[in-house]
Structures are given as C-alpha cells and as structure tokens.
Amino acid sequence: QVQLVESGGGLVQAGGSLRLSCAASGRAFSYSAMGWFRQAPGKEREFVAAITWRGVSTYYSDSVKGRFTISGDNAKNTVFLQMNSLKPEDTAVYYCAGSKITYGRARYYSESDFDSWGQGTQVTVSS
C-alpha cells in the first residue's frame, strides 16, 4: 500500500515563504501526476497546483499563480510546493495527491482523478 506523507507546514507571517514536501512510501510505482490541494476551515477542499511527469506540465489555480511553484522527482514519487508571498487567505491544511491517470497536460486533471492522498499538513499565515 502506497502512502503519501507531507511535511514542511507551519506558522509564517504574511509575505513569508514555506516549502512543502510530499513523499510516497510503500509499493513502488510511478504516478502519472501529483498535485496539491488545500482546505481552509469551513470551506471545501480546493485545487492548488498539479504536475505531470510526461512532458513536465504544470498548472496552478488563479489564486496562487505567480506565488507558488510545484516541482518534483518522478522517479522518487516526490513533489514539492514552494510557497512565496504568503497571504493570510493561504491558511489551510494542504494535501498532496497522486494520480495514475495519464493526461497530456496538468490542466486536464480534476480532484476526482487523484486516488492517493496524504494526511495533510497545516499552513498558517498570520497577518
């Protein structure tokens, strides 16, 4: 059984940076894509960013575009989320996810395409 484990969350002041990491453990296989989602208190989980390994395509939500960068290592099933210029509205539990479905571009993935999820890591941005 594959497990995704996130790390790197914490408390940061507005304007600061954090780098989240997600690593897969267990049975070895490669996801076709990995992504980051977040859920703020009282809100539904929302898409943040995704990366596909074939062609190395990335896609971001409008709310984080230009501030966050997703990257990773396909061979290690590891994905990172570099978060810069953080805002209080970025406060949420951040989840990484893996998908075995293959699309040509990261923008084609929806939440339902991701079938492996981590336990989440809390990111809190103070004003």
Q: How many CB atoms lie within 10 A of CB 82?
A: 15
- Residue 13's pLDDT band (boundaries 50, 70, 90)? very high
Q: Dihedral sign, CA of 105, 111, 112, 113? A: positive
Residue 119 to residue 109: CA distance in whole angstroms: 20
pLDDT in tens, 81-122: 999 999 999 999 999 999 989 888 899 999 999 999 999 999
Instruction: Note the pLDDT tens digit of each residue in 14-48.
Output: 999 999 999 987 665 678 899 999 999 999 999 99
